[in-house]
Structure formats: C-alpha cells, structure tokens
Structure 1
Amino acid sequence: MSDLSRLFEMPLLAGLPAERKQWLSANLTEHRLKKGEILLREGETVTHQFILLEGELVTEKRIAGRQVIDDTRAAPVSIAEASLLSGMPLPLTFVANTDCFLVALSEQVVRTLLNECESFSRQIFRSMYGRISAYDRFILSGEKLAALGRLSAGLAHELNNPAAAVARAAEGLRDSLDSLHQATRALVSSAMRADVMATLDEWASRTPPPLDATPQGALRRSEAEDAVAQWLSAHGIAKSWLIAPRLVAAGFSPQELAPVASSVTPEQFDAGIRWLAATFDMRFLSEQAWIGAGRISEIVKAMKSYSYMDQAPLQEVDIHTGIEDTLTIMQHRLKHGIVVKRDFDLALPPVPVYGSELNQVWTNLIDNAIDAMDQHGELTIRSRLEGNCALIEIGDTGHGIPADVLPRLFEPFFTTKPPGKGNGLGLHIAYRTVVHRHDGRINVESHADGTTFQVRLPLVQGHAATG
C-alpha cells in the first residue's frame, strides 16, 4: 500500500479519530492514471468518491457538440462527492492532465463517515457549498456576458445606420465638391451680372422648408420635381432630372426661377442653376454627415454613462439619467413598435447605487417588457418619492403574467419563454442586484392588460426599502 499520510492531512479527513483513519485505510482502493487517461465521463452514474493525492485533472464539458475545457483540479482535492450523494449523473468529464494517484471511497464508506464523523460531514458539505456558489457565480457571469453580447449586437446595428450615413455623405461630398468647383468656374467664365449673383447668393442661404414625410407630401414633391425638371429642360439645362430634386427640396418653383432665366443668357442661367444646385447638395450632405456623427456621439456617450466607466462603483446618481441611457442603447429594440411614455418626478434626489449594475436592472426589465408585448405596445416608466425610497415603475401593455407564475418569477432558471428566447436569469439578476446589492425591493403587479415592475431603492445606503 502507498503512503497515505497526505490523505489524512487534508481538512476533509484530518479530524477523523485514529481508529477511523485505520478503518478507512483498509476500506479504500488506490488508482493510478497516466496522462490523458479518463477517470470519469460526463453523464455516468458515480459509485465512488475520489480523492486526488498526486497530479492534476482537467474537467471538460460537452457544449454544442464539442468538448470544452471547464477547469483544472490539482491535488489534494475531493472529486464527485456531490454526484455520488445526490445520485445524479456526473456533469463533467475528468481527464488526467499529468500522471495521477487517487484513492476511491465507496458510497457505503462515504455514508458511514457522514453519519459517524461530524468533521467529515462538515467539510464535505462546505466543499459542496463552495462549488455550488462558484457554479452560481459562473452561471450569472455567463448570463451577464450573454446579455452584453446581445447588447453589443444591438449597438453595432444601431451604430451601423449613422455610420453608413456618414460614409455615404462623405463620398457624396467628394463628388459634390467637384461639381461645385466646375459650376463656380463656369459661373466666373460666364461673367454673371452682380445683381443676379447677389440673388443667387441669397437663394443659396435660404433655409429649406420642413419636409412633409406623409404619402401625400411625397406625391406632391414628386410632381413638383417633374414640373421643375421639365421647365429646366425647356430652358436648355442638360440632365435636369438630377438638379430638380435639390431645387424643390429648397422650395423653388418655375415661377420663382423664371425672372432670373429671362434676365440672363442661356449660358449664364445654366452656370447659375448648376452652381445653386451644387451648393444645396453640399449643404444637404454636410447636414447628413453632421446628423449621423451626432447620433454616433449620442450612442457612445450613453454607453459610457450606462457602464459608468472611469467612476467609482458606488455613487449618487440621477436615476433618470441611467434610465435614459438604457433607452438610448436599447433603441434597436424599441423603434419597431414600442411607444415609450415617461412620467418622471424630476425633483427626485440622487440615489446612492452601483450605477452599471443598476442599469443592468433597467435593461432586464425593459427587455422583459418588450418581449411581453411582442415588440408592439406602450412602455411606461414612472418615478416618484415614496417615504425614504425612490420608486421606479416599469409597465407594459402585454397580456399579463398568470397568477401561478408570479411567485416563481425571480427564481433562477425559471422562464416561460420558448427555448432560445431566455434562460430564466434576467429577472433573477435584477432581484439580486436590487435586494442584495442595494437593500431595496422589487415587486410585480400583473393583470390581463399588462404588467408593472416596481423597484424601490433607499435614498440612504443601509436603510432597507419599505412598502
């Protein structure tokens, strides 16, 4: 028999009386593994508790059809006691990462030690609790990463639109600059009269009328563009269909252009009209680039504020700012059919919170509300002062939550969503953040016309929320 002195130095077995140590030495079996050999496979029924005394094991888990390394276990360490005592299949595969020496305790031996040795039972349950806690943290971290991934995908989509607009405007500006350069040369060469040039310059500074985005407005605009294009063509302007949309967008009609056309030569009118259209084109494209860049800056600013980068974790914040930042970065989910209604108490004082964690609460609650409404409905967000708490309500106009589901709503892994839509951790994370991290409370009221989540946060840290 090998030297088992290291076995009895472990906290798990160090408290055994001498006679039990002798009894255990006679009722265990020894195992040696070569590097690469498998000790236990995922899904197996466990019949022994193993204790690794020399070497190192790697744990693997099958995910999406492939083996993924989960963790390493270095000696001395106990293995598979949870699966043995619960009778559940092994959740991991154990592979020798080096040459290993282990001892195995049968289920009967383990249960005898549990029943007769308090130190053994305390240590084994402490070990199991530690692993469960670690697994809990791992799962929650995984859910937060998954939520971050979904959020990042949405932000990428939201940033893509203004970024593409800026790119299109920049490309168009390059072409328009060439057109403006050519039109300016033609305008100078035509020896345009000073009074007509002053009129063209005044026109170029004109503020365009508001755009009518209704179907009727689009039809009227199309008819106006056809009329201007035909009028320009009749006055010798080549490719008038390219110039007419810019002039119509600026509010011009043939009646306004006619006095200038009759007071100059056809060459001068052609040069003046092309210069005017190129100027409008440059202004339009520069405004599009400015709007796109402003939208990008708005999203980036909201994301920085949402994550509270470069700031202390616990701070007094304006709750409404965090909610607005959350709505901004979730715009990709709101813009297809969700109407957001705000009823904020702007006199609400700053609240001491962990900013980025609390914003994750708003994200989970808003995301849940959008799903409940099938992405079409009204999202109502209210805030008010209630005693020593800030009360924030997030309500939807969905079909409500069944009464038998409400008591389980914040349980981990509980979900009524179909596979692939949720894993039951979003509301659990929200609950933990509000209750455990902020000494607050989170409640839910639901009926056939919708659901409202109520979050109460104490205005002073350490004072539990009431109500």
Structure 2
Amino acid sequence: MSDPSKLFDMPLFAGLSAERRQWVRENLSEHRLKKGEILMHEGQTVTHQFVLLEGELLTEKRVAGRQVIDDTRSAPVSVAEASLLAGMPLPLTFSANTDCYLISLAESTVRTLMNECEAFGKQIFRSMYGRISAYDTFILSGEKLAALGRLSAGLAHELNNPAAAVARAADGMRDALDSLHRATRALVLCAMPVDVMETLDTWARRAPPAIDATPAGSLRRSEAEDRFAQWLSTHGIDKPWLMAPRLVAAGFAPEEFEPLTARVSREQFSAGIRWLAATFEMRFLSEQTWLGAERISEIVKAMKSYSYMDQAPLQEVDIHGGIEDTLTIMQHRLKHGVVVTRDYDRALPPVPVYGSELNQVWTNLIDNAIDAMDERGELTIRSHREGNCAVIEITDTGHGIPADVLPRLFEPFFTTKPPGKGNGLGLHIAYRTVVHRHEGRLGVVATEVGTTFQVRLPLVHRHAPGG
C-alpha cells in the first residue's frame, strides 16, 4: 500500500516540525500513473511541485525537431520545483517509465514551506542548482550536436553537387575520348592537307567566349545551334545536332567554315568537323571536372578552417576569414535568394578568440538572419574598429523583432519560431560565447525593415575566461 508519509524520509522534508508535517499531509494530493502515461508536457505552465515516491520517470526534450531522451528519475525525487518557483514553462516532458506513485503540493503550499522552513528552502535550492547545472550542460551539448548535424547535412548537399558534376564529366569523357580517337583516325585516313590541319589546330586552341546566361542569351544560343545544325546537314555531316552545340559554345558560326568547304572534300570536311567538335567536348568536360574538384576542395578547406582542426583553441585569428568560411559552408542556405554584401575593415588586427566557438556564433547569427528573411533578402556584414574592440555587424532585411520580444531574445529556450523550426538556443549560445567566453558584448537593434546584431570583441585577451 502506497504511503505518502515516505515523503518525510527525504532530506527535502526531513527538517519539518511535527506540526508542519501534519499540515503538509492535509495539503498534498496523491497521483498514480501507469507506465507510458504523461505527467507533464514540455512548455506547459507548472502549478504544483511533484514528488515521486514509487517508480521511475522518464524525461525528454525536443531538440532540432525530434524528441531526445534526457534522463530517468527514480523515486524518491522531487520534480518541477524550479519551473514552479521561477514561473517558467516546463523545459522537459515527464512520463512514467514504470508504474508510478506521486504526491503533489500546490504552489501556495510550496511557497509557505520556503518562507517558514529554512531547511526546506536550502534543500530545494541545492537540488535546483545541481539539476539546472546538469541540464544546462546536457541541453547545450545537445544543441551543439544538433547544429553540427544540420551543418553536416547542408555540407553533404553542397558536396554532392560538385561531386555529381565531376562524376558526370568523368563519365562523359569516356565517350568523348572514343569520339576524339575515331575523329583523329578519320583525319589520318582521309589525308587532310597540312595547311587545313594547321587551321583546325589553331581553331581548337581558341578560348571560348563568355556565356550569356540570361533568358534572351539562352534563346539566341538555341537559335544559333539550330541554324548551325541545319548548315552542317547540308554539307553531309551525320548527326549534326550533336556537334552544333559545342561549336556554337566555342564561338563559331557557319560563315567561318565556308572557305574550308571549298578547299577539302566532303569526307575531309566531315573528319575535320568531328575532330574539332570532339576536341572542344574534351576541353569542356575537363573544365567541368576541374571546376567540380576545385569546389570540393574549397568546401573541405573552409570546413577545416571553420573547425580550426589541428590548431590551438585560443589564438589570434582574422575575423573576416572565419566569417567567409562560415558563409562558404552555409552556401546551401544562402543560394535560394539571399544576397550577401560585405563591408569589411581590412585594417582590423587579428583578434584573440576561440576560433571554432566564434565561428558557431557567426553560424547562429547568419542562420537566424536567413530565417528572418524567409531565405530571400540582403544580408550585410560589416566590420570596423571602436577603441580596443573589433565590431562585427550582421544585418538582415527581414520583418524585424517586436519591441516586447527584444529583452528576452538571448534567454535560453525563448523562440518566436514555429514548433520544429527552432528551440531558442542558437542566440543563447551565441550570447554565452561572446560575453562569457570572450568577454565581449552582443547587442541587437531592430526596426520594421530589418535587424542588426552587433558583436564586440576585445582586441586584447586579458585572461582565459571560464566556460
């Protein structure tokens, strides 16, 4: 038979007088939960302190859109007192991991005990301090891992595009190399005149013109390819639609080939055209392979620099380099419609910082700015010096921040984003990193046409700040 008097075996209630114990018995409520039942949901308002006297509770937290197990709490243990006394929403979901027996005390009862029983107050604050410290470490570590997961997913997407381009180009090179081999053999067998071969060789080394990527330019290019294919067809070229696009991209027009048709046989002209088109195709595919490999190298280099791999945690760094590395690895979020404008003071000296931690600040602030603009707008990043501080400003053209929200912006778990979009830790982590780790300042100025986050970092590192 469950007995609520077990409550007074706990250190939290052991110091109560006999009279006060009787008063508590008269003011408590008893509760029973079956395994799997929910006691309290994350985010709800807490009205009672609960004490688990039998069984085990499971605590969970929603991180980055998914439910993450935090801990298990075995009887006897008090829960929810921190949220109750602070008047804050519950940060965890509590459910029964086994069949449970609990008692609850209303807020008025708890506050009476706090005011009249010194031993109760000391024990409850000691319990709250230990639990909050452990929870702080857990949830911040979880958020950093979640942020790393989001970053990794974005990087994987960014790396996939150039990797796929390299694979396509390498695959195309097989066919292009076969075509070039057949075309070269045809040139030899048809005894191409030396002077014509020299002309073809000169043309093959011609640098291609810049591509007009506008809709009008694409239309003109398509029309030019059709005309070229028709012209090649009239001169006996088989499958001219395969060669016309590459010759047009190289800057050729049928008029340049007219003199050549009068100097060689139809067989020689066909061999020359095929060799020229195959040469340009190989050059194009080689260029695509090089561009893809360069992009992959750029991303990997930026990620290594972003994480300060194999480097000391605290060092003097170029602030702009860290921001650029961050922009590179966040390209998957920028490319849908965000224009980045830079206004850097390149005269800024290196700043003593924890490089990888500061880069997470840039990540959180830029990510927040992109969300504020719904992924479309102008992101402006400025830097300048004020006295002994480097100042970095990140401005978006989003819908701004309401005045009543500004005072709570850096609070943990405070967010104006819809469920699953954010959990209110990104700006809190940025604030802790700037203020506590780097002895700097993080402020915000919001208007109806955008928001500016301002980071101030001392140019002289006074001492190693605590975590």
TM-score scaled by structure 2? 0.81
Residue matched to 2:94: 92
Task: Tell me by how many angstroms 1:441 deviates.
Answer: 0.3
1:401 aligns with 2:398: no
Residue matched to 1:242: 242
The alpha-carbon distance between structure 1 residues 105 and 285, as it changes in their structure 2 partners (threshold 3 A), is closer
Query: What SS does the corresponding residue of 1:198 show, helix, strand or coil?
Result: helix
Matches of 2:104 and 2:238, distance apart in 1: 94
Matches of 1:422 and 1:256, distance apart in 2: 61
TM-score scaled by structure 1? 0.81
Matches of 1:282 and 1:126, distance apart in 2: 73
Task: Tell me by how many angstroms 1:219 deviates.
Answer: 2.4
Q: Is the 8 A contact 2:49 2:78 kept in 1?
A: no
The alpha-carbon distance between structure 1 residues 229 and 110, as it changes in their structure 2 partners (threshold 3 A), is closer
Task: Tell me by how many angstroms 1:120 deviates.
Answer: 5.8
Residue matched to 1:59: 58
Number of equivalences: 442
Q: Is the 8 A contact 1:47 1:84 kept in 2?
A: no
Q: Is the 8 A contact 1:49 1:84 kept in 2?
A: no
Matches of 2:369 and 2:286, distance apart in 1: 38
1:43 aligns with 2:40: yes
Residue matched to 2:430: 430
Q: Is the 8 A contact 2:369 2:398 kept in 1?
A: yes
The alpha-carbon distance between structure 1 residues 69 and 381, as it changes in their structure 2 partners (threshold 3 A), is closer
Letter of the 1:198 partner, please give it.
E
Matches of 1:84 and 1:450, distance apart in 2: 34
Residue matched to 2:413: 413
Matches of 1:152 and 1:248, distance apart in 2: 40
Query: What SS does the corresponding residue of 1:309 show, helix, strand or coil?
Result: coil
Aligned pairs (5 A) from 1:225-264 = 225-264=225-264
Alignment RMSD, CA only?
A: 3.9
Residue matched to 2:181: 181
The alpha-carbon distance between structure 1 residues 247 and 104, as it changes in their structure 2 partners (threshold 3 A), is closer
Residue matched to 1:195: 195
Matches of 2:56 and 2:293, distance apart in 1: 53
Percent of aligned pairs sharing the same letter = 72
Q: Is the 8 A contact 1:409 1:427 kept in 2?
A: yes
The alpha-carbon distance between structure 1 residues 337 and 48, as it changes in their structure 2 partners (threshold 3 A), is closer
Residue matched to 2:293: 293
Q: Deviations over 1:416-467 (max 9, x none)?
A: 2233332222211111111111110011112223221110001122389xxx
Residue matched to 2:451: 451
Aligned pairs (5 A) from 1:89-128 = 91-93=93-95, 95=97, 118=118, 121-128=121-128
Q: Is the 8 A contact 2:166 2:293 kept in 1?
A: yes
Matches of 2:368 and 2:83, distance apart in 1: 38
Task: Tell me by how many angstroms 1:235 deviates.
Answer: 1.1
Instruction: Answer with 342-351 or 424-433: which moved more.
Output: 424-433
Task: Tell me by how many angstroms 1:390 deviates.
Answer: 0.5
5+ residue gaps, structure 2: 1-6, 26-33, 42-46
The alpha-carbon distance between structure 1 residues 262 and 121, as it changes in their structure 2 partners (threshold 3 A), is same
Q: Is the 8 A contact 1:13 1:120 kept in 2?
A: yes
Matches of 1:451 and 1:368, distance apart in 2: 10
Task: Tell me by how many angstroms 1:232 deviates.
Answer: 1.2
The alpha-carbon distance between structure 1 residues 10 and 310, as it changes in their structure 2 partners (threshold 3 A), is farther
1:271 aligns with 2:271: yes
Matches of 2:69 and 2:441, distance apart in 1: 38
The alpha-carbon distance between structure 1 residues 345 and 337, as it changes in their structure 2 partners (threshold 3 A), is same
Query: What SS does the corresponding residue of 1:42 show, helix, strand or coil?
Result: strand
Q: Deviations over 1:45-100 (max 9, x none)?
A: 97874579xxx95735497999975435689x744483897699994345469xx9
Residue matched to 1:378: 378
Q: Is the 8 A contact 1:411 1:428 kept in 2?
A: yes
Residue matched to 2:442: 442
Q: Deviations over 1:314-337 (max 9, x none)?
A: 121110001001111111222222
Task: Tell me by how many angstroms 1:171 deviates.
Answer: 1.2
Larger RCO, structures 1/2 (Cα 8 Å, 6+ apart): 2
Matches of 1:271 and 1:154, distance apart in 2: 47
Matches of 2:232 and 2:200, distance apart in 1: 16
Task: Tell me by how many angstroms 1:105 deviates.
Answer: 11
Matches of 2:365 and 2:61, distance apart in 1: 32
Task: Tell me by how many angstroms 1:394 deviates.
Answer: 0.8
5+ residue gaps, structure 1: 1-6, 29-36
Q: Is the 8 A contact 1:358 1:434 kept in 2?
A: yes
